[in-house]
Structure 1
Amino acid sequence: MTTETQRDRVGKTRPLDKPWLPWGGAPSKRDLFCWYGIWLVFAYSFAMWPLKPWLIGTNPVLLEALTGTQSAMTIAGAFARVGETSVGLALAAGIFGMMKFCWVFWWAGRLWGGNMVRFLAGSAAGGDAKRPRSLLTRDAPASRWIVGAAVVLAPLPLVPGPIAFVSAGWVGMSLLTFLVLNLIGTAAWTGLFTGLGYAIGRPAVDLAETVSDYAVWASIAIVAGAFLVRAVMRRRGARSRS
């Protein structure tokens, strides 16, 4: 699908029926598959939180593959230092963990373009609400060079990864190019934290094993904290609407 065709599909000439959906008209099978896939990714990320204390000190490589978190990469590197795993496996698991769902957002950009960018940015597509005017959240897509750089830099905390991935699909970037750019940034990020853990070595392993020893209480605290944050956000939302 060319960029022009995408713009025709998601542009102002085809207004959205519902502001909370990134497509207009009746959804196709691809729309529904991608839409539910995105929400499954969010649900999966939430479901992994209670597992982190259990796996961080027992199988950090598996935790890397499941979550792609920096802490898991660091501990996996420390485990490699003490001979519990190999550096290559720690790197591969971290890269896989970070990249495994990125293609879903790229596909969303292919299907819905700027509508999905605005959805992730927190405003209704085509609405009058104020939107963040960053390089990736304007009404028109950013240049391919900017989007490509954003995909490479997506692991950095200040770069909105999902918006960068959606933008890559919006500008018509091929899946192969997207995956190569994503691999470059992910490999560098994984190598940084795996190397940090390898340099720390035994102290990091001991700390992770201590966390796993108290995994039950840590998991309960994580789940309780998540529900508390959600309740506070709902209460604030109710007050703002009243």
Structure 2
Amino acid sequence: MTGANEETADGGATPPETTKQEKPSRFRWRSKDYSPEEMAEAKKAWRDAMPWDHPMSRGDKVLVFSTLGVIVLMLASMPFRPFLLASHPIALSAVTGSLSAIGAGAAFARIGQGELWLVVAAGVFGMIKFDWLFWLAGRRWGAKVVEMFAPGDVAKRVVSRIRSWPAWAMPLVVIAAALPGIPAPAVFAVAGLGGMGLVRFLIFDAIGAALITGLVAGLGYGVGQYAVDVVLMIDEYALWITLTLVVLVSFRAGYRGYKEDKEKKARAAGEAA
């Protein structure tokens, strides 16, 4: 005799059949696929990640899209830089602030193909033209934006140390931000957060850019023809250099995503255990 209450041979009742739980779909594209608790948690995480503590205003939107536009412009110009290094080094330095373009322009000026003062002026302009956006972000949004511009632990420690310095040291820090390896956007945001005026900030920012531009231009001008030969060789192999850069960037991004996905799976397995 069969049934839900069927007894076994030893007199015990068979346990009720358990229904198999459906596995959640791997990808959930629609908002209705999420529970209200998940939606509330996602909104809270978004609010915590944003640097502003108030409803997003028109000024916030303009500043966000302007800053993103600068980042996209710099990234989009990377594949084209080897092609323009030999033909338009001054224009390239004015658009991107590239130190290699400044050095190339100075080398061409040494052999009579351009003016050295124009190379320096274009380099300074290219290095500082968008820096006021990061200063404004620090002035408008406060300390949280500094963490966005300095995501690494080392950069965060550097910025924290800078914030602890006296006010008279901030101009020196802004000047030093032109050096390679310094998280310049975070430094500029700290300057805005610390109350440095815009005109004063731009003056010291230009001084730092002029110092590093003058150094690089001086090296390029001193080397002269040898530097020009190197630039022309880069121009000759520009396509292969660009493809190599694209492959390296793609591989690095893919490997980073693979590591993050592997760590997430390991954490999920540990929590399940």
Report the TM-score when normalising by structure 2. 0.75
Aligned to 1:35: 64
Q: Does the 8 Å contact 1:105/1:162 carry over to 2?
A: yes
Q: Does the 8 Å contact 1:150/1:159 carry over to 2?
A: no
1:50 is displaced (CA, Å) by 0.7
Identify which range, 222-231 or 172-181, moves more after superposition: 222-231
* Residue number among 69, 72, 75 corresponding to 2:101 in the alignment: 72
Which string of whole-angstrom CA distances, capped at 9 and with x for unpartnered residues, describes residues 167-216 of structure 1?
Answer: 11101111100000001110010000000000000111111112112222
Which string of whole-angstrom CA distances, capped at 9 and with x for unpartnered residues, describes residues 75-115 of structure 1?
Answer: 11101100100001100111011011101100101111111
Pairwise mapping of residues 92-241 of structure 1 onto structure 2 (< 5 A)? Answer: 92-122=121-151, 132-134=156-158, 136-137=159-160, 142-241=165-264
Which string of whole-angstrom CA distances, capped at 9 and with x for unpartnered residues, describes residues 46-80 of structure 1?
Answer: 11111111011111111111221221111111011
Q: Does the 8 Å contact 1:155/1:161 carry over to 2?
A: yes
% of aligned pairs identical?
34
Q: Does the 8 Å contact 1:108/1:116 carry over to 2?
A: yes
Q: Which amino acid aligns with 2:84?
A: L
Q: Which amino acid aligns with 1:73?
A: I
Aligned to 2:10: none
Give secondary structure in 2 for the equivalent of 1:77. helix
Separation in 2 of the partners of 1:53 and 1:92? 21
Q: Which has the higher contact order (CA 8 A, sep 6+)?
A: 1
Aligned to 2:118: 89
Which string of whole-angstrom CA distances, capped at 9 and with x for unpartnered residues, describes residues 132-186 of structure 1?
Answer: 333x236966532232221110111242211110011101111100000001110
Q: 1:74 to 1:19 in 2, by over 3 A?
A: same
Aligned to 1:9: none
Separation in 1 of the partners of 2:251 and 2:182? 27
Q: Does the 8 Å contact 2:155/2:183 carry over to 1?
A: no
Q: Which amino acid aligns with 1:190?
A: T
Separation in 1 of the partners of 2:186 and 2:105? 29
Q: 1:47 to 1:181 in 2, by over 3 A?
A: same
Give secondary structure in 1 for the equivalent of 2:86. coil
Q: 1:214 to 1:133 in 2, by over 3 A?
A: closer
Cα RMSD of the aligned pairs, angstroms, is 2.3
Q: Does the 8 Å contact 2:149/2:183 carry over to 1?
A: no
Gaps spanning 5+ residues in structure 2: where?
Answer: 1-43, 266-273
Q: Does the 8 Å contact 2:131/2:188 carry over to 1?
A: yes
Q: Which amino acid aligns with 2:233?
A: T
Report the TM-score when normalising by structure 1. 0.85
Separation in 1 of the partners of 2:200 and 2:67? 21
1:119 is displaced (CA, Å) by 2.0
Query: Whose radius of gyration is greater, 1 or 2?
Result: 2
Q: Which amino acid aligns with 1:241?
A: K
Q: Does the 8 Å contact 2:163/2:190 carry over to 1?
A: no
Q: Which amino acid aligns with 1:230?
A: A
Aligned to 2:50: 21
